[in-house]
Amino acid sequence: MSPTSILRRHRVAALLGAALIISPVIVSFAQSNSGLSTVAATTQTPVAGITAPNGSFAPVIAVTKPAVVTVTSVMKAQPEAGNEGSPLGGNAPFDQFFQQFFGDQGMPMPKTPPQQQGQRAEALGSGFIVGADGTIVTNNHVIDGASSIKVTLDDGTELPAKLVGHDAKNDLAVLKIKADKPLPTVKWGDSNKLMTGDQVLAIGNPFGIGTTVTAGIVSARGRDLHSGPFDDFIQIDAPINHGNSGGPLVDVNGNVIGINTAIYSPNGGSVGVGFAIPSDQAQKVVAKLMKGGDIEYGYLGVQIQPVTQDVASAIGLDHPAGALVSSVTQGSPAAKAGIEVGDVITGFGGQQIKDPKDLSRAVADVSPGVKETLDVWRKGKAMQISADVGRNSEDQKTASNGNDGANPSADKGLRVPSLGLGLTDLTPDIRNQLSLSQNQRGAVVEQVNPDKAASTAGIQPGDLIVGVDQTPVKTARQANQAIAEAGKSGKKSVLLLIDRGDAQIFVAVPFAAG
């Protein structure tokens, strides 16, 4: 069955003048920087030695709860005609991601009642004070699109807030308020020291009912929700719901070790699967946002994928690590530096790259214009390449590689029994079916034996094989010969470069034993 659960960011929007405080609602989707100074000047000292007598967390809550605030964003409602398919009129950040991974099988989207264009709505979230000067941290999706922002302190005081800076990729925002009294603050903690099973407390304003504290444990670390290059979420079972977004996740010492951001829910409420941005990641971003404005991220221009054991075996690496380059954007910093499809990037700027996420974060952390050295594994040899990191922007696309023109051969129905593949050459009809350009070359996968290695590795009919063991192939015969040579050489697997739709990926297919 298709999955019926869907990830949701927790922002609750109640129309002004609605009969019930929490109804009707709009649920919004929204979706490690090195060498940065940390926020310390205006935060208070850690709450050391807090204990929970008789199992009570009251001492922790007494210190942390006063620094937790409710964030109210006032915005113009989207025109009704644009609300189809998305609770924010189809413009919600990462809405396409949810459609791609969950389709239309998720919980039905609550819709606003008919509204007049220009009618205002309020969106509620949470936040916490990190500076006695009124500096507040929350999620970007809590304030995204707001025309004005209001903060309600724990004692009920309402104050206007100014947006200092925000970052959609990390889903973080910094606000500033002015108060006529000293403000309570919370201290950043060290999320890197968290272990699965550690006790945590989530504080926020779920459904707008008032500041609420829930307890649980760290369920897992390093969760990737595929919402951006910085996904490294802490998974918790402490109940968080719509409205908790932007609120702090604190440890038993009263320090903020995460920012509650997302839930996985089949019914719109907590089912014990929540996600928080780690404090070590958030703190560095907040330090930059406090200076005002947006954050510029570095850009390399490569499409990358993990190096599996089969891939490592096929390319001669002694262990699976690094980021395998499956595509290089034309005119990008990577292309100008000479990075090639099939390269494995194992280091960047002196930092070891263990997987694609490491590379994404390392590149993004670099300021545009900085020259960095990449450690690269290419065709059995280690080398270094220098690249000028570019500026990342939302309109940059990953380009697929084109091959030079050549007349296709007449080979059809070639069998590759060692992998369980049937290959054929491109024909005009196949080009049209696969929406391929006239200069695209390769071997079309016509059949896949479900009992053979190619099927297990994920090869599908309609895939276009454009490379075998990092060597381009233009015809079915060339692909068949290259695969046969790889098998004769004693390799345990062969590395195929596949064009599939708009993506280009490497797939390592093991040869049958014996």
- Catalytic, out of 171, 251, 343, 375: 171
64 strand-pairing partners: none
Cα angle: 256, vertex 260, 261; to 5 degrees? 140
Provide the sign of the torsion angle of the four alpha carbons 145, 151, 152, 158, taken in this order: negative
Give the single-character DSSP code of 27: B
H helices of 435-500, in order, are 453-457, 476-488
Closest CA to 366 of 19, 63, 35, 30: 35
Per the CB < 8 A criterion, the answer to whether 127 and 71 are in contact is yes
Residue 65, both tokens? 């709860």
CA atoms within 13 A on the CB side of 120: 11
- Catalytic, out of 245, 327, 332, 418: 245
Give the single-character DSSP code of 401: P
Question: What is the number of H-type helices and E-type strands within the chain?
Answer: 10, 30
Per the CB < 8 A criterion, the answer to whether 350 and 323 are in contact is no
- Catalytic, out of 10, 141, 166, 242: 141
For 352, phi and psi rounded to 5 degrees? -70, 135
10 catalytic? Reply is: no
166 catalytic? Reply is: no
148 catalytic? Reply is: no
Measured distance CA(351)–CA(373) in Å, rounded: 10
- Residues known to be catalytic: 141, 171, 245
